[in-house]
Amino acid sequence: MSIFGLKIHNVGQISYYCGPPALKQGDHVLVMEDQSLMFALVTSGPSETLHGMEAHDLPNILRQATPEDMQTERENAKLARNALAFCRQSISRRALDMKLVDMEIFFDRTKLIFYFTAPARIDFRELVKDLVREYHTRIELRQIDVRHETQMVGALGNCGMVCCCRRYLRKFAPVTIRMVKEQNLFLNPAKISGICGRLLCCLSYEQENYGNFHAQCPRLGKKYQTTQGCMKILRANMFRSSVTVLTEQNEEGELHLDEWLALAPQRHESPAHESTAELEHRDIDEARDDLSVDMLDNGYADPLHRGHKSHKKTTD
């Protein structure tokens, strides 16, 4: 048995299953998920091992999809479009303050899942009753945040390309204001925010490099005592691995990190001399920098991944 990466949901993380080596990328298969039959697309494989995973530790692919299964999937897609239209009509009729984004239907039609956004918690019990009366199956409503909405709907980013979350991102990494500052970007919301209104996901792509660089750099704006006198750190350039300093003669100079370390720099003022108020102010600033503006830190998990804890309601 070999390992295959499967795309079960339109957007969401890739799930790994084991199956016969005869399968190839682009094939459609049937798998079990949440005790229901699901239609999936093979996106990678076959592989003997992957990221330390062994085939015998993974769930099995039930079988390759037959022409009859393909026809059933097309009928399910048609049903999903009708269910979206019916749900939107019910939301409008009941004047609910919620926006329906997308829905998915299990292959065996044992459950319909509707994804929506809302400014607050919504009492949608009557809406669920409408859907149950119409489709006679389990109904689940999941509240998602604006990032997952953009991922589902898709949009063009500031760079002119389709948003990363729609093209290939399957899991959101926390993005913080500290990343913006460490990358020397202007704190202009129009420049550092994506279509969803949150900080750009791409800010995290090079953060590891910036973090390693700043770990070796002196703190910006601080004064250091060196073998050539007192110097103040003005700027840091990761691409050149250098810092710009201001000397006692009020002259600017650029030093490579190796040249800077060769000057045996010592803090001009020891942190021990900082007042209690200065220490508290610095701690507050650092805590604020570490605070993520990502909605994932407000209790939202990935609503497209098994085991999430998002706000939802299920009715049989």
Domain boundaries, the chain: 2-65, 71-144
Identify the weakest region by mean pLDDT among 2-16, 76-90, 139-153: 2-16
Contacts of 294-298 with CB under 8 Å at 24 or more apart are 294/147, 294/172, 294/174, 294/175, 294/176, 294/198, 294/199, 295/145, 295/146, 295/147, 295/198, 296/145, 296/147, 296/172, 296/174, 297/174, 298/145
Q: Are strands 2-7 and 15-19 parallel, antiparallel or unpaired?
A: antiparallel
Helix axes 67-93, 125-135, angle to 10 degrees: 140
Rg of the chain in Å (alpha carbons) = 27
pTM strictly above 0.75: no
Separation between Cα atoms, residue 144 and residue 12, nearest integer Å: 13
Residue 64, pLDDT > 70, answer yes
> Largest Cα–Cα distance in the chain?
82
> What average pLDDT does this structure show over 87-95?
92
> What average pLDDT does this structure show over 111-128?
90
Q: In what order do the strands lie in the sheet with 15-19?
A: 15-19, 2-7, 36-47, 28-33, 63-64
Q: 71-144 — its CATH code?
A: 3.30.300
C-alpha count within 13 angstroms, C-beta hemisphere, residue 76? 20
Separation between Cα atoms, residue 315 and residue 197, nearest integer Å: 33
> What average pLDDT does this structure show over 86-109?
91
Instruction: Select the more confidently predicted residue: 300 or 285.
Output: 285
